Amino acid sequence: QVQLVESGGGLVQAGGSLKLSCAASGRTFTNYAMGWFRQAPGKEREFVSIIKWSGDYTAYTDSVKGRFTISRDNAKSTVYLQMNSLKPEDTAVYYCVLFSSVSGYYNRRPDYWGQGTQVTVSS
């Protein structure tokens, strides 16, 4: 099993920044990827960003490109999401996820989910 624990959410004004962290523990994988999904009130959960364990592949949903940056520290088994120029529409619960294999992640649901952390952006 894998445990994912998020931190760093909170309330911020539009234009501000937040940095989310997600620490992973438990079972290890060789070709995994970690990332973030989010769910806004009344909306479906959506993909935000992903990073391969090696750090040589990242992807973002269009609405956050140029504003959000994903990174990882393998020594700490931690993935980060730096969120800049936040907008009210970024308000959501952000979930850390882990794919046991990065192959075809865009066609699969993550294998593991964190509990989520609330991000609220006021206008």
Average pLDDT over residues 7-35: 94
Task: Summarize pLDDT for 28-50 with one digit per residue, the tens.
Answer: 888 899 999 999 999 999 999 99
Other residues' Cβ atoms within 10 Å of the Cβ of residue 50: 23
- β-pairing verdict for 92-99 and 112-113: antiparallel
Task: Summarize pLDDT for 52-109 with one digit per residue, the tens.
Answer: 999 899 999 999 999 999 999 989 999 999 999 999 999 999 999 999 988 888 889 9
Other residues' Cβ atoms within 10 Å of the Cβ of residue 64: 21
